[in-house]
Structure 1
Amino acid sequence: MKKDKVIFWSATIVIALLEGVMPALTSHTELAKQGIRQLGYPDYFGTTLVVCKIVGVLALTIPQIPPRVKEWAYAGFVFNFVFATVSHLSVNGVNALSFFPLVILGILAVSYIYYHKLSIAKNR
Structure 2
Amino acid sequence: MKKTKVIYWITTLLAMLTGASSAFMYFTSPKFIEGYRHLGFPDYFRIELGIAKIIGMLILLLPFIPSRIKEWAYVGFGITFISGIIAHSIVDGPGLGFVPMVPLVFLVISYIYFHKLRNA
Q: Which range, TM-score by smaller chain?
A: over 0.9
Letter in 1 for 2:102: V
* Partners of 1:56 and 1:114 in 2: CA distance: 18
* Partners of 2:48 and 2:87 in 1: CA distance: 17
- The one-character-per-residue Cα deviations of 1:44-65 (angstroms, maximum 9, x if unpaired) are 1111111100111111111111
Structure 1 residues not aligned, in runs of 5+: none
The equivalences for 1:26-105 within 5 A come to 26-27=25-26, 28-95=28-95, 97-105=96-104
2:18–2:102 contact (8 Å) kept in structure 1? no
2:15–2:106 contact (8 Å) kept in structure 1? yes
TM-superposed deviation, 1:17: 2.1
1:4–1:118 contact (8 Å) kept in structure 2? yes
Q: Percent identity of the aligned residues?
A: 44
SS at match of 1:56: helix
Pair 1:94–1:16, CA change in 2 (3 A): closer
1:23–1:50 contact (8 Å) kept in structure 2? yes
| Aligned positions, number | 119
2:23–2:51 contact (8 Å) kept in structure 1? no
Which moved further from structure 2: 81-90 or 9-18? Answer: 9-18
Structure 2 residues not aligned, in runs of 5+: none
SS at match of 1:100: coil
* Partners of 1:22 and 1:30 in 2: CA distance: 13
* Partners of 1:3 and 1:98 in 2: CA distance: 32
- The one-character-per-residue Cα deviations of 1:93-122 (angstroms, maximum 9, x if unpaired) are 222x2111112111001100000000111x
